[in-house]
């Protein structure tokens, strides 16, 4: 019977070996192949693509933009999502469930449909967002949102916000309300309770939400492609272009593998940080 | 539990409006009577919903997405059940590593998976085929199927099975009459969550779908890349309506919170 668990895992193992590990290895290999306009892909081992991706300032700028967008999306999601999760957690029974559904539901609605909504809201000078901002007297002339980083950041923050709320919500569920009550009984004001009691305990939730949001924002495709258009390239839209328009697959593979490596480094580093700093919370 | 003050409630209203605004805008614009993008003010019209019927590529893409989601989720659940039983019941070397491997499609960017599958399927002659789509979708939905089947396998009361064995049931009878019926709710919710994720997947599919095997989100994305007109808003409004309906059913049946957070997340710690 020692073999039983392995036998049960065989179908999944076969699938992952054949359809995940092999294709990923092939992609890494592909990034070392040569490519020419007329000769196509040549299965040789060269560092040309990697050299180009790592030394060309065009790629530097594009990767800088990708991670800048991801950083601001993560920051905005944490800044606005965490308080909302807290408010949600303090709601009464029917409302809590209803609004949780309203806020987490968009996660399951097509990304294309949600991004289309932002394209309609931003749309040119007559876009609803500009009309509202001008109506409130916040701006005097319409701001460009379409084809700008600001527009991509706003739309991506909306798309990924549920992940942050979900992560903070999950950590709030582990919170003992008695600790809050004890702080109040000992004379702490609501702000002190929030800062000294609640925030330190939900910080791991915020950080794990931030890791998820950052990873998804840096590799998001549909939203930057629609809002950013063809002019504002990020790593994913650039890789798409190399694969389906320029047909320089090896270069596109190098961009994608580099993005994957950068994300693995960020996730691994963040997890190390969380585990070291908040070991006592998990213990 | 203390209540939220007026500032908190104002913030909450603004937050919910932010979350709903783009979704509602799509649904509103879909009812425009004009030939261009505009908000219907005094007149509402269904003309753009009727117009979908004249674009067979949207209709066929919709059916393809439906079949793709149903088939790949069913296979993903079929593969997940034995794996979940193994992970839930046995302590064996490599158990943690295998769980991490099966959950890895959640962490690998779909962009990278799309590129990897494009290269792989082109090499083995499955490029742009429905079979290729099914294989790739099984991979990306397995974590969802596995998480929920695992949750129900972990929560299973083994003493019921032991009782059946002591009453003389054979191993296959126990599996068929006791174990599978008990994990069925997890199986169904796992399938449903997997289906929704397959139905919405665009980033990976856009790389591997060819003309003729495009899924609905891919068709919509390519259409929007060319131009945004009321037709694509009415298609999106239909997709939103279907998803919301599915969401309400799922929430009633299983509870959305349980579905999304998954009870087995911290298991084993």
**DSSP letters along chain B, please?**
-PPP-HHHHHHHHHHHHHHHHHHHHHHHHTT--SSSS---SS----HHHHHGGG-HHHHHHHHHHHHHHHHHHHHHHHHHHHHHHHHHH---TTHHHHHHHHHGGGTS-HHHHHHHHHHHHHHHT-TT-HHHHHHHHHHHHHHHHHHHHHHHHHT--HHHHHHHHHTT--HHHIIIIIIHHHHHHHHHHHHHHHHHHHHH--TTHHHH--TTS--HHHHHHHHHHH---HHHHHHHHHHHHHHHHHHHHHHHHH-HHHHHH-GGGGTT-
For residues A47 and A42, what is the distance between their CA atoms, to the nearest angstrom?
13
Rg (CA), chain A: 23
How many Cβ atoms are within 10 Å of B261's Cβ, its own excluded? Answer: 18
ipTM, two decimals: 0.89
**A128 vs B contacts (CB less than 8 Å):** 25
Decide if A104 contacts A164 (C-beta within 8 A).
no
Using a 10 angstrom Cβ sphere, with 0-12 exposed, 13-18 middle and 19 or more buried, the burial of residue A238 is: buried
Mean pLDDT over the full length of chain A: 89
Domains of chain A, residue spans:
57-109+144-282
Mean pLDDT of A205-215: 93
Q: Which of B29, B82, B108 lies nearest to residue A8, judging by beta carbons?
A: B82
Q: How confident is the model at residue A42, as a pLDDT?
A: 84
Q: Say what the pLDDT of residue B261 is.
A: 67
Q: Which of A110, A136, A238 to mutate to test the interface with B (most CBs of B within 10 A)?
A: A110
Q: What is the pLDDT of residues A61-85, one digit of tens each?
A: 999 999 999 999 999 999 999 999 9
Structure tokens at A121: 């809201």
Q: Which residues of A touch B247 (CB under 8 A)?
A: 101, 105, 108
Nearest C-alpha neighbor of A156 from the set A213, A235, A211? A213
Report whether pLDDT(A158) > 50. Answer: yes
Q: What residues in B contact A220, CB-CB < 8 Å? A: 203
Task: Choose among B57, B145, B58, B142: nearest CA to B105.
Answer: B142
Q: Residue B92 and residue A6: Cβ atoms within 8 Å?
A: yes
Flag the least confident range among A89-93, A224-228, B134-138: A89-93
pLDDT at A277 over 60: yes
pLDDT at A279: 65
Most confidently modeled range among A66-75, A88-97, A204-213: A66-75
CA distance B170 to chain A (A): 16
A4, A109, A219 ranked by CB distance to B90: nearest: A4
B36 Cβ partners below 8 Å, 6+ apart?
B229, B230
Phi, psi dihedrals of residue A204, rounded to the nearest 5°: -60, -40
Contact A222 B203 (CB under 8 A): yes
Nearest-by-Cβ selection for A166 from B135, B200, B261: B261
Q: Across the interface, do B108 and A253 touch by the CB < 8 Å criterion?
A: no
Chains A & B: contacts with CB separation below 8 Å: 248
What CATH class is the domain A57-109+144-282? mainly alpha
CB–CB contact A108 B247 (8 Å)? yes
According to the model, what pLDDT value does residue A131 have? 80
Inform me whether the pLDDT recorded for A142 exceeds 90.
Answer: no
Interface contact B123-A26, CB threshold 8 A: yes
Distance CA A255, CA A242 (A): 9
Give the gap in angstroms from C-alpha A222 to the nearest C-alpha of chain B.
Answer: 6
The pLDDT assigned to A273 comes to 82
CA distance B14 to chain A (A): 10
> Testing the interface with A: which of B4, B14, B20, B22 to mutate, by most A Cβ within 10 A?
B22
pLDDT tens across the length of chain B (269 residues): 457 889 999 999 999 999 999 999 999 989 988 877 777 777 788 888 998 988 899 999 999 999 999 999 999 999 999 999 999 988 889 899 999 999 999 889 999 999 999 999 999 999 999 999 999 999 999 999 999 999 888 888 888 889 999 998 888 899 889 888 988 988 998 999 999 999 999 999 999 999 889 999 999 999 998 888 889 999 999 999 999 998 888 888 877 777 776 543 333 32
Burial B172-184 (b: 16+ CB within 10 A, else e): eebeeebbeebbe
State phi, psi for A41 to the nearest 5 degrees: -85, 130
**Cβ partners under 8 Å of residue A122, min gap 6:** A129, A130, A145, A146, A151, A227
Query: Alpha-carbon torsion B251, B252, B258, B259, what sign?
Result: negative
Q: What is the spatial distance between Cα B41 and Cα B152, in angstroms, rounded to a whole number? A: 50
Query: What is the radius of gyration, based on Cα positions, of chain B?
Result: 22
Nearest-CA distance A139 → chain B (Å): 19
0.80 exceeded by the pTM?
yes
CB contacts of A252 in chain B (<8 Å) are 115
Nearest CB to B25: which of A27, A117, A239? A117
Q: Which of A17, A23, A262 is the best substitution to test chain B (most B C-beta atoms within 10 A)? A: A23
Task: Name chain B contacts of A9, Cβ cutoff 8 Å.
Answer: 82-83, 86-87, 98
Cβ–Cβ under 8 Å, residues A206 and A240: no
- Decide if B19 and A106 are in contact by the 8 Å CB cutoff: yes
Mutation site for A-interface testing, chosen from B3, B11, B15 by largest number of A Cβ within 10 Å: B15
**What pLDDT score was predicted for residue A281?**
53
Pairing label, strands A40-42, A34-36: antiparallel
Homologous superfamily of the B57-266 domain (CATH): MetI-like (1.10.3720.10)
Q: Which of A105, A170, A228 to mutate to test the interface with B (most CBs of B within 10 A)?
A: A105
**Could you tell me the residue ranges of all domains in chain B?**
1-48, 57-266
Q: Name chain B contacts of A117, Cβ cutoff 8 Å.
A: 21-26, 236
B139 contacts: CB under 8 Å, gap ≥ 6: A15, A16, A19, A20, B105, B113
Helix H, strand E, coil C: the string for chain A is CCCHHHHHHHHHHHHHHHHHHHHHHHHHHHCCCEEECCCEEECCCCCHHHHHHHHCHHHHHHHHHHHHHHHHHHHHHHHHHHHHHHHHHCCCHHHHHHHHHHHHHHHHCCHHHHHHHHHHHHCCCCCHHHHHHHHCCCCCCCCCCCCCHHHHHHHHHHHHHHHHHHHHHHHHHCCCHHHHHHHHHCCCCHHHHHHHHHHHHHHHHHHHHHHHHHHHHHHCCHHHHHHHCCCCCCHHHHHHHHHHHHCCHHHHHHHHHHHHHHHHHHHHHHHHHHHHHCHHHHC
Provide mean pLDDT across the span A8-28: 94
- The per-residue pLDDT for B107 is 86
Q: Compare CB distances from A19 to B135, B199, B206 and report the shortest one's residue.
A: B135
């Amino acid at each position: 019977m020692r073999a039983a668990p392995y036998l049960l895992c065989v179908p999944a193992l076969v699938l992952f070996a054949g359809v995940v590990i092999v294709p990923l290895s092939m992609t890494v290999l592909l990034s070392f192949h040569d490519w020419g306009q007329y000769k196509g892909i040549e299965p040789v081992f060269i560092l040309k693509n990697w050299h180009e991706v790592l030394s060309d300032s065009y790629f530097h700028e594009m990767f800088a933009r990708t991670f800048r967008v991801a950083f601001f999306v993560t920051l905005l999601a944490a800044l606005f999502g965490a308080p909302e999760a807290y408010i949600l957690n303090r709601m009464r029974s029917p409302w809590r469930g209803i609004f949780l559904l309203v806020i987490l539901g968009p996660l399951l609605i097509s990304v294309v449909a949600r991004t289309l909504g932002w394209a309609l809201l931003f749309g040119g000078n007559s876009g609803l967002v500009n009309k509202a901002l001008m109506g409130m007297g916040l701006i005097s002339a319409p701001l460009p949102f379409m084809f700008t980083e600001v527009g991509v950041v706003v739309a991506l923050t909306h798309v990924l916000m549920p992940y942050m709320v979900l992560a903070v919500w999950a950590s709030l569920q582990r919170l003992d309300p008695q600790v809050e009550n004890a702080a109040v009984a000992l004379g702490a004001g609501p702000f002190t309770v929030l800062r000294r009691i609640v925030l330190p305990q939900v910080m791991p939730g915020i950080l794990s939400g931030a890791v998820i949001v950052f990873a998804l924002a840096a590799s998001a495709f549909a939203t930057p492609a629609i809002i950013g258009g063809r002019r504002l390239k990020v790593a994913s839209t650039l890789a798409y272009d190399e694969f389906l328009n320029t047909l320089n697959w090896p270069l596109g593979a190098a961009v994608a593998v580099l993005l994957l490596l950068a994300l693995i480094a960020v996730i691994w580093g963040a997890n190390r940080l969380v585990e070291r700093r908040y070991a006592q919370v998990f213990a | 539990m203390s209540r939220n003050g007026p500032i908190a409630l104002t913030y909450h209203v603004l937050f919910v409006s932010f979350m709903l605004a783009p979704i509602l805008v799509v649904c509103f614009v879909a009812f425009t009577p004009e030939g261009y993008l505009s908000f219907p003010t005094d007149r509402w019209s269904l003309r753009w919903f009727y117009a979908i019927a004249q674009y067979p590529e949207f209709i066929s893409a919709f059916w393809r997405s439906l079949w793709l989601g149903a088939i790949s989720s069913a296979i993903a659940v079929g593969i997940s059940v034995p794996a979940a039983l193994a992970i839930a019941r046995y302590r064996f070397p490599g158990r943690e590593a295998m769980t991490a491997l099966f959950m890895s499609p959640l962490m690998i960017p779909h962009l990278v998976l799309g590129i990897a599958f494009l290269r792989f399927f082109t090499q083995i002659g499955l490029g742009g085929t429905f079979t290729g789509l099914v294989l790739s979708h099984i991979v990306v939905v397995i974590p969802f199927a596995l998480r929920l089947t695992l949750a129900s396998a972990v929560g299973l009361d083994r003493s019921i099975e032991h009782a059946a064995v002591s009453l003389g049931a054979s191993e296959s009878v126990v599996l068929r009459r006791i174990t599978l019926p008990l994990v069925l709710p997890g199986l169904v919710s796992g399938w449903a969550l997997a289906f929704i994720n397959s139905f919405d997947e665009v980033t990976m599919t856009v790389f591997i779908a060819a003309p003729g095997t495009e899924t609905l989100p891919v068709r919509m994305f390519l259409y929007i890349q060319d131009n945004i007109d009321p037709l694509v808003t009415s298609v999106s409004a239909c997709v939103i309506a279907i998803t919301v309906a599915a969401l309400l059913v799922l929430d009633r049946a299983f509870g959305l919170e349980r579905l999304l957070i998954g009870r087995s997340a911290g298991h084993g710690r």
